[in-house]
Structure 1
Amino acid sequence: MFFRQFFDSTLSQYSYLVGCQKTGEAIIIDPARVLDEYKAVADAEGLKITHATETHIHADFASGLRDVSRKFDATLFVSDEGDADWKYQNMPKDTVFLNGGDIFEVGNIQFEVLATPGHTPESISFLLTDNGVDEPMGIFTGDFLFVSDVGRPDLLEKAAHFEGTTEIGAKDLYDSLQKIKKFDDHLQIWPGHGAGSACGKSLGAVPLSTFGYERQFNWALQSPSKADFVKEITNAQPEPPNYFAQMKRVNKEGLPAFNLKDVPVETPETLNGQVFDLRNSNAFADGFVRGSINIPYNTGFVKQAGWFIDYNQPLTIIGKQELSEQYQKDLASIGFDDIARIVPEDSIESLVNDSYEKVSPETFVDKYENANILDVRGQGEYDAGHVGHGIHRHHGTMRDADIPFDKNEEILVHCKSGGRSAIAVSVLKARGYKNAKNVLKGYDGFKDEIEVKK
């Protein structure tokens, strides 16, 4: 048997390629939208991608499931669990719909389907047995069971706005965990995400685990009662990015095939509509095109873009033209394919018509008692300690959040260390808040010098 785990560090997402070396068949589990890497590995191993499946309708990335069918003529296996609201639509005619207890094979590799609802109603897991071996080797758990954590049950309510589903999901998740407690300690756990994903509170960074390890150290498998579990799993989950709602819809209904295109490289006299400036925050602060949003192109780009991207508008990118293909692949991973143009970052001097000031921690300490303070950290960070009279708004809500300050007043904007607040200032400037300023080094830079409240 051939086994390969893939990790998309931009979204903290795991996917898998499993192949039968005897028959040459292979299956992708939870495929990302860009399929190049799977194809390259399969070709190198002499395998043909003949099947694909996924553990549930994903909320945090755009699925490549249907593209596997289109590009490789592969047979798809998807969940038929859950209610009518979360059934897959527009699937190929030969799609196989799965329920708990079903078994399918890829070559000499057997997959047993386990219904594991909780994160979502349709969530399933796959117990893998290499035929010829008497016991299962491991289980693909998707967003059900992670290393050191379990999937959150509140996304249908918080992201997709299905009211009342959080507590139902939490109870289902507890029941699903009871089902798997029978497994032997040696069973490997192959999760759908790692540390950094917003699909749980405290995911481990280790790429896989064993059931014995999780039985001993994963809090969710040690919860003494369903009531205690529900209380813990529904408390203090991180804010889901805005794009999650879009992903649940398009992964349910389907996306067009992803293909690279020639994106125009040009510098028009004016930039209208949705504009992302991908330069670092210092370069942006020194001079930018009014109305553009600064999302630096680094390892956090995709997650930050997901907070602010408008799926109904084409996008202009101010960045590096030689990175066109990578920009397309990155944004395709969250289901956005409409990059209208790339404006080379070294050609925008004539377009620059705005800037913003940066404030040192020392200046903040001198001014904070009488200042308008906007704290743009997450709710958990804010609850752990904050400036008493500061206003709290999550940075990802800046496009629409109510900001109780006059647009001409000075606003000192801070996060934990200065990165998210720089993005927030760019959005505020785009909204017409003329005197928004970024506090360098953020809360970490000034917390020891002022009185904080909890």
Structure 2
Amino acid sequence: MFFKQFFDKKLAQTSYMVACQKTKEAMIIDPKRVVDEYEEVANAEGFNITHVAETHIHADFASGLRDAAKKFNATAYVSDEGGEDWKYEDMPTDTVYVKDGDIINVGNVELKVMHTPGHTPESISFVLTDRGAGSEEPMGIFTGDFLFVGDIGRPDLLEEAADMEGTTEEGANAMFDSLKKMNDFPDFMQVWPGHGAGSACGKSLGAVPLSTLGYERKNNWVFDYKDKDDFIKELTSDQPEPPSYFGQMKKVNKEGLPEFKVKDVEIDTPDELPGQVFDLRSKEAFKKGFKKGAINIPYNDKFLQFAGWYIDFDQPMTVIANPEDSKTLQEDLAAIGFDDLKLIVPEDKADKYFDDSYDNISPEEFVENYKDKNILDVRSTSEFEGGHLENAHHVHFGHLDEKEVPFDTDEAIYVHCQSGVRSAIAMSALKARGFENVVNIEKGYGGIKEAMK
């Protein structure tokens, strides 16, 4: 048997390939939308990708399920659990819809379907047994967003991100029951989750890429709870705010997206910039001069996690960026279902548009008389509740384009996050909304607390 894990650190998302080395058949589980990496591995190993499967309709990234089925002429396997509201649409005609207890054979590798609702009603896991090696015992389980290293899938995304009222309580109850199903399996069984640290699909995901069921039984908080009410209370508390794009992902992954292909994006400096404008330069470069209305999301490994809060899926996009990044940028945006990158303005030619700037203040200077200042804390709710300045007002940085800010647009506002990264993004969002007198506090709340010592 062949096994490979693929980790996309920009979304903290994990997909897998398993194959039978005798028959050369291979299967991809929870594929990302850009499928080139799977093709490269299959070609190098001499495999044919004959199966592609998904554990559930994802909310945090754009699925490559349909693209992979088409590109590799592979049979798709998807959940037929969860009721009529949770059925995949626009799938290939030969798609196999599986239920609890069904068996998928990839050559001599067996995957048994187990319905594990909670994160979503249709969620399934795949229990792998290597029949080719003569094993009668399961080697591991692909858990998707059911069981993580150190955590379990959150049940509130449908309500928080897709406005499906009442689904949090239903999901939490189902998750408790799904967890009981793990009692039937041995400690040595490996756990292969769909996400790692950095994902918003749970609140305390571990950075270790895989685990064993025995280790999780001893170290994962979810196995400490025997009372359902106590479990549900803990599961539904202090979950991180889901990025705005999550609601869009549920829709497109259920209904399908056009096949992704890299295109030639126009590189120019026209008088008018089409659609929404994102400035991908560093926060240090942005603060010195920028086009008012542009959102500053530096192009690094956290780009998607931050940009997903602000992208309007109904508008084309202009970016101020390095034109050499066109291909990777298109692939990154495709990972969250956005395909309408219209224009790239080269960084070294963008100053013709600049009509604004902002100032920073050191934490030492800020704390000299901070009690009389208007302070906006843009951290997460859990961070804010864990400790904050008594005169600070809280608005999550990702909601600054939509929620009420408790100050007038001409008032002086001092903005901070935890370390200074998110507050710099917040500065661009506030400027876009017409707040003229905003100041960014360097080093964030951590720097402020240090300066107070």
Match of 2:224 among 213, 219, 222: 222
Tell me by how many angstroms 1:133 deviates: 1.3
Show the 5 A alignment for 1:8-19.
8-19=8-19
Show the 5 A alignment for 1:300-449.
300-449=302-451
Q: What is the distance in 2 between the residues matched to 1:238 and 1:431?
A: 25
Tell me by how many angstroms 1:272 deviates: 4.4
AA in 2 matched with 1:391: H
* CA contact 1:270–1:351 (8 Å) conserved in 2: no
* CA contact 1:58–1:251 (8 Å) conserved in 2: yes
* CA contact 2:276–2:317 (8 Å) conserved in 1: yes
Q: What is the distance in 2 between the residues matched to 1:448 and 1:73?
A: 58
After superposition, what is the alpha-carbon deviation per residue over 1:81-112, rounded to whole angstroms, capped at 9, x for unaligned? Answer: 10222111111111000110111111111110
1:62 aligned residue: 62
1:366 is paired with a residue whose SS is: coil
1:39 aligns with 2:59: no
* CA contact 1:185–1:213 (8 Å) conserved in 2: yes
1:246 aligns with 2:248: yes
2:114 is paired with a residue whose SS is: strand
Runs of 4+ aligned residues of structure 1 deviating over 3 Å after TM superposition are 448-451
Tell me by how many angstroms 1:10 deviates: 0.4
1:105 aligned residue: 105
2:152 aligned residue: 150
Q: Which runs of 5+ in 2 are unaligned?
A: none
Q: What is the distance in 2 between the residues matched to 1:436 and 1:351?
A: 20
After superposition, what is the alpha-carbon deviation per residue over 1:42-64, rounded to whole angstroms, capped at 9, x for unaligned? Answer: 00000011110010000000000
AA in 2 matched with 1:192: G
Q: What is the distance in 2 between the residues matched to 1:188 and 1:362?
A: 50
1:83 aligned residue: 83
Q: What is the distance in 2 between the residues matched to 1:182 and 1:272?
A: 56
Q: What is the distance in 2 between the residues matched to 1:382 and 1:248?
A: 29
2:187 aligned residue: 185
After superposition, what is the alpha-carbon deviation per residue over 1:332-378, rounded to whole angstroms, capped at 9, x for unaligned? Answer: 00000000010000001222111011111012112311111110000
Report which stretch shifted further, 127-136 or 337-346. 127-136
1:125 aligned residue: 125
1:308 is paired with a residue whose SS is: coil
2:235 aligned residue: 233
1:408 is paired with a residue whose SS is: coil
2:214 aligned residue: 212
Show the 5 A alignment for 1:158-177.
158-177=160-179
AA in 2 matched with 1:187: M
Q: What is the distance in 1 between the residues matched to 2:260 and 2:228?
A: 43
* CA contact 2:192–2:210 (8 Å) conserved in 1: yes
1:295 aligned residue: 297
AA in 1 matched with 2:300: N
Total equivalences in the alignment = 451
Q: What is the distance in 2 between the residues matched to 1:371 and 1:223?
A: 45
Normalised TM-score (structure 1): 0.98
Q: What is the distance in 2 between the residues matched to 1:224 and 1:113?
A: 25
Q: What is the distance in 1 between the residues matched to 2:243 and 2:164?
A: 16
AA in 2 matched with 1:396: G
After superposition, what is the alpha-carbon deviation per residue over 1:99-142, rounded to whole angstroms, capped at 9, x for unaligned? Answer: 10111111111110000000100000000111121111110000
Q: What is the distance in 2 between the residues matched to 1:436 and 1:71?
A: 50
AA in 1 matched with 2:316: P
* CA contact 2:274–2:343 (8 Å) conserved in 1: no
Tell me by how many angstroms 1:450 deviates: 4.8
After superposition, what is the alpha-carbon deviation per residue over 1:128-163, rounded to whole angstroms, capped at 9, x for unaligned? Answer: 111121111110000000011100011111011111
1:138 aligned residue: 140
* CA contact 2:5–2:14 (8 Å) conserved in 1: yes
Q: What is the distance in 1 between the residues matched to 2:319 and 2:44?
A: 35
AA in 2 matched with 1:401: K
Q: What is the distance in 1 between the residues matched to 2:221 and 2:433?
A: 43
After superposition, what is the alpha-carbon deviation per residue over 1:139-197, rounded to whole angstroms, capped at 9, x for unaligned? Answer: 00000000111000111110111111111111100100101112111101000000111
2:209 is paired with a residue whose SS is: coil
* CA contact 2:375–2:414 (8 Å) conserved in 1: yes
* CA contact 2:274–2:342 (8 Å) conserved in 1: no
Tell me by how many angstroms 1:270 deviates: 3.1
* CA contact 1:319–1:345 (8 Å) conserved in 2: yes
2:286 aligned residue: 284
Q: What is the distance in 1 between the residues matched to 2:405 and 2:315?
A: 25
2:271 is paired with a residue whose SS is: coil
Tell me by how many angstroms 1:448 deviates: 4.2
After superposition, what is the alpha-carbon deviation per residue over 1:13-49, rounded to whole angstroms, capped at 9, x for unaligned? Answer: 1100111111111100000000010000000000011
Tell me by how many angstroms 1:449 deviates: 4.5
Tell me by how many angstroms 1:224 deviates: 2.2
AA in 2 matched with 1:100: D
Alignment root-mean-square deviation, CA = 1.0
Tell me by how many angstroms 1:273 deviates: 2.7
Q: What is the distance in 2 between the residues matched to 1:56 and 1:135?
A: 25
AA in 1 matched with 2:326: S
